[in-house]
């Protein structure tokens, strides 16, 4: 098998630094020593391949995948977009996992004790795979804002957590999707861990009327970029490796 090129080095200036004291939990959970930089090895340039039959038919429909006696309550939305790598190539057949609170900002998790009630018809977990061109979509309800014990009165903007694999272990990414126009966005200490305003903008999904379904659901578009892969130039490889 010809060896694939290296995953391109991560530009960590695009990402939050580990220590961001305004997000208090990061203070004790951030390494103080520098990361050890290395070129990737063959194991890091490869990654798990998930088969499409992993998915159940309703896995990408959060309005129905936890339904008990009806559909989830809230603003019905479709979230869709394209997963590309830094070189502009689509990332096909990669697993995308999402989780979120319900319309009132309550998570279905035994550690969440917020007084807003659970929705009996909403679980908050979904997953899908990108198609051959890197496109994905899922259907859900728009999550509500959520208070959290950071500073005295911090509220998370409406957000959906998103996790991606790509085709290499080094492309792994977990991030959060926010919604265009939310006035909580500039107040959020977690989004504020990102040093660059342009980077924060890239986490904001855009209202997409063209893809809305009249009398049914609004649509938001959220494109995602994973690390790219380059050709292996001038690598000192023994013959036949």
Catalytic: 159?
Answer: yes
Least gap, CB of 1 to other proteins (angstroms): 10
Q: Angle at Cα 50 formed by Cα 97 and Cα 143, nearest 5°? A: 10
Catalytic-labelled residue, pool 66, 106, 127, 159: 159
Q: Which of 90, 92, 120, 123 binds other proteins (CB under 8 A)?
A: 123
Least gap, CB of 61 to other proteins (angstroms): 11
Residue 126-165 contact track with other proteins, rule CB under 8 A, x = bound: xx---------------------------------x-x--
Q: Residue 118 interacts with other proteins (CB under 8 A)?
A: no
Catalytic-labelled residue, pool 23, 66, 106, 107: 107
Residues of span 9-48 touching other proteins by CB under 8 A? 10-12, 14-18, 20, 23-33, 35-44, 46-48
**Burial (CB count <10 Å: 0-12, 13-18, 19+), residue 136:** buried
Least gap, CB of 195 to other proteins (angstroms): 9
- CA–CA separation, 187 vs 184, rounded Å? 5
Q: Residue 68 interacts with other proteins (CB under 8 A)?
A: no
Beta strand spans in 109-182 (E): 125-129, 135-141, 146-148, 154-156, 159-164, 173-179
Whose Cβ is closer to other proteins: residue 31's or residue 152's?
31
Catalytic: 156?
Answer: yes
Q: Do the beta carbons of residue 71 and residue 213 sit within 8 Å?
A: no
Q: Angle at Cα 36 formed by Cα 31 and Cα 37, nearest 5°? A: 130
Residue 189-218 contact track with other proteins, rule CB under 8 A, x = bound: -xx-xx----xx-xx---------------
Tell me the backbone φ, ψ of residue 128, rounded to 5 degrees. Answer: -155, 175
Q: Cβ contacts of residue 82 below 8 Å, gap of 6+?
A: 90, 130, 133, 134, 135, 136, 223, 224
Q: Do the beta carbons of residue 129 and residue 136 sit within 8 Å?
A: yes
Whose Cβ is closer to other proteins: residue 193's or residue 219's?
193
Give how many residues touch other proteins by CB under 8 A.
88
Catalytic: 32?
Answer: no
Catalytic-labelled residue, pool 23, 136, 146, 220: 146
State whether the Cα torsion 49-55-60-65 is positive or negative: negative
Catalytic: 110?
Answer: no
Residue whose C-alpha is closest to residue 222's, from 108, 149, 138, 111:
138
Whose Cβ is closer to other proteins: residue 118's or residue 218's?
118
Catalytic: 161?
Answer: yes
Active site residue ranges = 107, 146, 156, 159, 161
């Amino acid at each position: 098998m010809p060896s694939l090129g290296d995953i391109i080095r991560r530009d960590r200036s695009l990402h939050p630094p580990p220590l961001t004291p305004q997000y208090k939990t990061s203070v004790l959970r951030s390494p103080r020593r520098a990361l050890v930089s290395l070129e990737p090895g063959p194991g890091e340039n490869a990654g798990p391949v998930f088969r499409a039959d992993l998915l159940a038919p309703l896995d990408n429909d959060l309005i129905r995948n936890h339904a008990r006696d009806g559909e989830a309550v809230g603003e019905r939305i479709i979230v869709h977009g394209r997963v590309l790598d830094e070189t502009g190539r689509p990332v096909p057949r990669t697993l995308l996992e999402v989780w979120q609170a319900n319309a009132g900002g309550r998570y279905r998790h035994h550690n969440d004790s917020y007084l807003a009630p659970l929705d009996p018809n909403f679980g908050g977990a979904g997953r899908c795979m990108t198609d051959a061109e890197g496109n994905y979509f899922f259907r859900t309800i728009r999550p509500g804002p959520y208070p959290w014990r950071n500073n005295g009165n911090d509220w998370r903007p409406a957000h959906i957590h998103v996790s991606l694999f790509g085709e290499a272990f080094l492309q792994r990414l977990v991030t959060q999707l926010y919604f265009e126009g939310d006035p909580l966005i500039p107040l959020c200490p977690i989004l504020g861990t990102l040093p660059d305003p342009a980077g924060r903008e890239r986490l904001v999904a855009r209202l997409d009327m063209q893809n809305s379904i009249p009398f049914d659901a609004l649509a938001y578009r959220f494109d995602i970029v994973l690390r790219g892969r380059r050709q292996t130039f001038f690598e000192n490889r023994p013959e036949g490796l």
